[in-house]
Every structure is written in C-alpha cells, then in structure tokens.
Structure 1
Amino acid sequence: MSFGGPQWPQEPQQQGQQGQQGYGQQPGYGYPPQQGQGQEQGQQPGYGYPQPHQPQPNPFPGAQGSTDTPDWGALADASASRGRRKRLLLVGGGVLATVAVGAIVATAVVSTNKKNDEAKNPVPTGTVSPTGTPTPEPTFSSVAPPPPPNPKDYISDPKKDKAPLSAEGLFPGKKMSMNGRAYKKGATSATTNCAAVTQGGLGSVLKRNGCERVLRATYVKDGVAITVGVAVFPSEAAAQKAKDQASGGIAPLTGAGVGDFCHATVCLRRSNAIGRYAYFTQAGFANGKKVTKADKPVFQASDDLGTFAFNQIYARGRAQASAAAADSGE
C-alpha cells in the first residue's frame, strides 16, 4: 500500500507731464497781453512786443549806436524760463529711464525664480526636458539570476547527496510529534544488509534494485507500534522501482521498551519513495492484535510516520542545497 503526497510687476506711472502745464505760456513771455491786462494785474510790460503809446525798444540790446538800455530783468526771466524747460525735460527722461531699468530688474528677477523652480522640480525621468532632449531611462539587466538549487536534486543524485547519513540523524530525539500527536521513539538501527531487515519478498526487491542500506526506527503511541524503514538506492529510478515492486514489508524493530509486534498477525504495511530513497512502514498493535480496516489509530500512526520520513528525507536535500548556494555566493 502506497502513501499519499505529503506668475510680472506693473510699470511705474510716467510723471514727466506734471510741471509742464503752461509751458511757453507765462504772461508777458512770447505773447502780447491784452490791453490793460498788465496794468490791471500789476504786471511788468511784456517782452518781445511793443506796448501801446510807448517807445519800441531796440530788438538787439547792447548793440553800438543804440541809445536805449536793455531790459536786464526780462532777459533774466527768459533765461530762467529756458532753464526750467531743460530741467523738466531731464526729469521726464529720468522717469522714463527709471521705468526701463525697473523692467529690466523685474525680468531678471523672474528669470532667476524660474531657474530656481526648475532646479527644485527636475524633469521627471522618462519625459522630455526643456531643451527637447529625452531624459534617459534607468536600465536593468535582462539576464535573470539563476534559480536556487532544488533540494530534490540533492536527494536524487548520489554525487550531490554527500551529507552524513545515520539512523539517529534521520530519526533524531526521543519522540516525534505530528499535528499534536506525540510518539515515543524506541530503538533505531542501520545496516547495509538490506534484505536482512525485511519480511516476505521485500528483501529480494531491495537487493534487485541495488539497495545500499536501510535505516530503521520504531515509535509507539497508545498501544500502537510502528517501525519505519528508509532504504537508500543509487538512483531515483531504482528507488521508484523498489517502491512499485514492493511486496512483504519492513521487519518490525523491537527493543528500547518495545516488545515483539506484527509477528504472526495482520499488520498495516505501506511504501513510498522520494529521490533515491524508498520508505516503508509496518504498523500494528503492540499486544499482537490483528489490524482491521476499522482500526483508525493504526492507519493514523502509519500516515504520521510516513509523513515524518518524507519530511526528514526532504529536509536532508534542502540542507545540502542551501549549503551549496552559500558556497557559490548566490
């Protein structure tokens, strides 16, 4: 019987027009006043045009042959007026210059801020930069790393399966627990004489398929005794053949508080294989009672010990695969 599988600033307003109101229109300068206007307002006679009923002044004061005295006050007023005109023009030009400088400064400030923003907010990877040049994408290697070693490879090939193997190493401790069910361990053994620890036709099957050794251990729980035997073969194919051809069973292992069982009675025998290992169980009552299909504790014990054997063999492969990965620096 076989086991199951376990945003810009505004420009400043131009002020050049202010102060130019009435330019060239001062009373008495450049234009004749109305009759009586100067007398009514107490203003001096105008310059540049003759006043009524008065002698006309020489148009070129200070010239030779002239008997008139130049109007020095009028000349001074004219000079002052021309000076004011020049100053107003200069002031107006200054305002315009100020506006131009202000615009340049504002432009420089905005340009600087824009550069700062770009520095703080770089172009995202994979987009087009302000110069129109695509930014490079990160590159990764297209070569996948090698897969980790497969534990099954180490328990299938004798060239890789080099770890020490013993009954105590395969069946450690004084007890075994499976899903809360505790089993006490009895005796253990190991032999290279595979046929010697079998019953029925199992010996010949092991021998025919090149069995190298058998490791056994017995466990007990609530009056049920189970012996589990693990047979080692030179290949996975050989172990699989031995499992398929199995007849008879592994011989019960007594001792360490466990008496004779499955002798001259009906017991439950099962077989399975993983890698180059085949494993067998024989379970029955410690008192010699024969096993029936209704005896669930016996079937449960057989399942638990078969699962335990599978786990131990696979753990052996996993440990060797991990060690190989560490040695290769993977």
Structure 2
Amino acid sequence: MSFGQGGPYGPGGSQPPTPDWAALADDTARRGRRRKLLFIGGGVLATAAIGAIVATAVISSGDKGKSSDNSASRLPAPQDLPSESSTPEPTFSDVAPPAPPKPLDILSSAKRDKAPLSAATLFPGEKAVGNGHTYTKGATAATSACATAAQGRLGPALTNNGCRSLFRATYSKDGVAVTVGIAVFDTKAAAERAKEQAGPNVASLAGGGVPVFCRQADCRASANAIGRYAYFTIAGYTSGADVTTADTKALQAGRDIADYAFRRILERGNQQASAAATATD
C-alpha cells in the first residue's frame, strides 16, 4: 500500500515538528534543583528532630542527677545512725569456769587430798561388800609407825618410801578372815614403789570376835595401789589351817576385801572432787 508523496504525518505529507532541545534542558535543570531543595529541607527537619530527642535525654539525665544530689542532702544525722556493731560485748560471766579436779588427781597428791583420814573414814559401818559378797567387820587399828604392822619385806618397803600412816581392818565370813591394810604416802610414785617392793605382808589383826590367824599358817597375800595409797591383804582360816595353792575360798575372800578397799579409796577421791565442783558453781 502506498501513502503517496505527503507521507503519514497529515495532509500534504509534511514532516513532524522538531523538538525545542534548549527548553527541555532548562526544564530538566529546574526539576533537579527542586528535588535537591526538598532533600536538603528534609534533612534539616530530621536533624532538628534528633536534636530534640538528644536534648530531652540530656534534660532527663540532668533531672536524675539532680534527684541523686537531693537524696544525698537528706542523709540521716550522725546520732540517727546505727552503732558499729550490734553484737553484745562479752562479759566475765561468759567465760567458762575451770573444770573440776579429777578424783585420781586428788588421790595422787597429799597437797590436794585433804579430807579427814582415819580407820573410821576408810572402813565405815559394820559390814564390807566386795564383788557381791558380804563380810562382818572385826577389829580396826591405825599407826604412823607403818613397819610395826607389817611382816617380811613389807616393813622396809613402807619405811623406805615414806609411809605416813597404816590403817588396818579385819573382816570375816564362814571361817575365813581377811586383814586389809591401807598405807598412805605423799605421792603416787611412792605408793607404786612400795607395792612393787612389798613381800609378805601386812600383819593380821585379831579382835572383835576374830581369833589370831595367819601367824603360823600359810595364807594368801596381795598388794596393789591407787593414787598415793597402797593397799595389802592377807587371808586365811581362823582354824589355823594352811591355805593351799588349790584353795579358792581364802583366795576369793582376799579378792573381795581388796576390791572393797579399792572402792573405799576411790570414793574418797570422788567426794572431794564433787565438793570442789560444787564450790566453783
């Protein structure tokens, strides 16, 4: 198909008008300047808003500091402050009293063992009980000449170790008699030496319904010590019969009365220790 000489732009086939390039350039420049101004203006507003926020934060911080300063100005007066320590000061009543002396400590020293000492205090009553067996008391005796109430090697052992007194008592049961002698020294060491050096033995004591015994016949003897006391027994038959190595009756009687003597001496220490403890309460 053919448009003819005029072409497609209109009647007569004229060419389209040429654009005004200078005017277009000016319009583009004006638009660019307008966008730049808008951008600059928006930045100024944003900066102003951030500044307001920072200013608010600074003001708030200043108020907080001011509040702390006001709190410091309201501290309590010195007289209103608590004392440095609420723990009460210790008093002399809080100090524990000294421990009371032990019975054996008292019994081991003449300076501490001060209770009355006699045949009556060592051998009270009319009976003696040892290991569950009961014996009847006969005669009693006391002497400061310890060797005069001893036989064999016991006399020198008492004298050489400083025996102060020797207390004796005899007990009997079913034809068997036992004499017990308690020798008193100044120290525990002296009593131990006397026990080790002793040989037959404490002299039997007749009287109070008990005939002479263990002077011509063989008898059972024992020696022991506690604290500053050494104690000895001799046991035999009132009939004068010998005590054989197989005999158990005299042996048991000697053990029973030795046990009784031990408990009597220990009780002496217990009583003095108890009295000392009561005095410190």
Paired residues, number: 192
Q: 2:205 aligns with which of 235, 253, 268?
A: 253
Q: 1:181 maps to which residue? A: 133
Structure 1's 306 and 163: CA in aligned 2 closer, same or farther, altered over 3 A?
A: same
Shift of 1:176: 1.4
Q: 2:257 maps to which residue? A: 305
Shift of 1:175: 1.1
Q: 2:226 maps to which residue? A: 274
1:215 aligns with 2:170: no
TM-score (norm 1): 0.56
Whole-Å Cα distance in 1 between the matches of residues 99 and 236 of structure 2?
A: 44
Deviations 1:73-110 (A, max 9, x none): xxxxxxxxxxxxxxxxxxxxxxxxxxxxxxxxxxxxxx
Shift of 1:144: 6.8
Aligned to 1:282, what secondary structure does the other structure show? Answer: strand
Deviations 1:265-292 (A, max 9, x none): 1100100000000000000011111111
- In structure 1, runs of 5+ residues without a counterpart are 1-135, 137-141
Deviations 1:220-245 (A, max 9, x none): 01100000000000110000000011
Amino acid at match of 2:271: A
TM-score (norm 2): 0.65
Shift of 1:167: 0.4
Kept after mapping to 1: 8 A contact 2:153/2:197: no
Aligned to 2:125, what secondary structure does the other structure show? Answer: coil
Q: What percentage of aligned pairs have identical amino acids?
A: 54
Q: 1:170 aligns with which of 103, 114, 122?
A: 122
Q: 1:24 maps to which residue? A: none
Q: 1:224 aligns with which of 153, 158, 176?
A: 176
Q: 1:285 maps to which residue? A: 237
Whole-Å Cα distance in 1 between the matches of residues 235 and 130 of structure 2?
A: 16
Kept after mapping to 1: 8 A contact 2:100/2:276: no
Deviations 1:137-180 (A, max 9, x none): xxxxx987644320011111111111101101110111112344
More RCO (CA 8 Å, sep 6+): 2
Whole-Å Cα distance in 2 between the matches of residues 213 and 146 of structure 1?
A: 33
1:202 aligns with 2:154: yes
Whole-Å Cα distance in 2 between the matches of residues 146 and 168 of structure 1?
A: 33
Whole-Å Cα distance in 2 between the matches of residues 211 and 200 of structure 1?
A: 16
Q: 1:191 aligns with which of 121, 143, 156?
A: 143
Shift of 1:214: 0.2
Kept after mapping to 1: 8 A contact 2:127/2:134: yes
Aligned to 2:156, what secondary structure does the other structure show? Answer: helix
After superposing on structure 2, the runs of 4+ consecutive aligned residues of structure 1 that deviate more than 3 Å are 142-148
Whole-Å Cα distance in 1 between the matches of residues 256 and 190 of structure 2?
A: 25
Cα RMSD after superposing both structures: 2.0
Shift of 1:264: 1.2
| Structure 1 range deviating more: 310-319 or 320-329 | 320-329
1:153 aligns with 2:90: no
Aligned to 2:239, what secondary structure does the other structure show? Answer: coil
Q: 2:69 maps to which residue? A: none
Q: 1:236 maps to which residue? A: 188
Q: 2:248 aligns with which of 288, 296, 299?
A: 296
